[in-house]
Structure 1
């Protein structure tokens, strides 16, 4: 499982969890009563936006740079 998710599976899993929870809460806000729909919609959108932090970390830590390019001349 770790090889499919790269070298940092924890960040990928956190990103997936935030995406799933954010989408669930956002969709819940669409059917919520008018008195509380905005809380669910905004919270879902914030979770979806926060998941981008985990995806950026995951992508950054999975970048592979050849050793030849790291050596200073």
Structure 2
């Protein structure tokens, strides 16, 4: 069981890293060069793709944390 969770943990970690790398930074574009930012909050505004990317990232982060706790309990 522990081996299965460890393999799952590696898979979740790789997917989580890829999801985080797919996010566009706060300082993108010309407005970021002057520190103005985008004007939208972390969960509001933006396109549907960005909102779904945020949801997937948060979901995988929660699963990663829960899997870590479960592995600590078993190990």
RMSD: 2.0
User: Cα distance 1:23–1:40, how it changes in 2: closer, same or farther (>3 A)?
Assistant: same
Between the two proteins, the alignment pairs up a number of residues equal to: 54
Larger radius of gyration: 1
Query: Relative contact order (alpha carbons < 8 A, sep ≥ 6): 1 or 2 greater?
Result: 2
How many Å apart are 1:26 and its aligned residue? 2.5
CA distance in 1, matches of 2:17, 2:67: 16
CA distance in 1, matches of 2:17, 2:58: 8
Which residue does the alignment assign to 1:65?
Answer: none
Which residue does the alignment assign to 1:15?
Answer: 9
CA distance in 2, matches of 1:42, 1:27: 14
TM-score, normalised on structure 2? 0.57
- Any stretches of 5+ residues in structure 1 without a counterpart? 1-6, 63-73
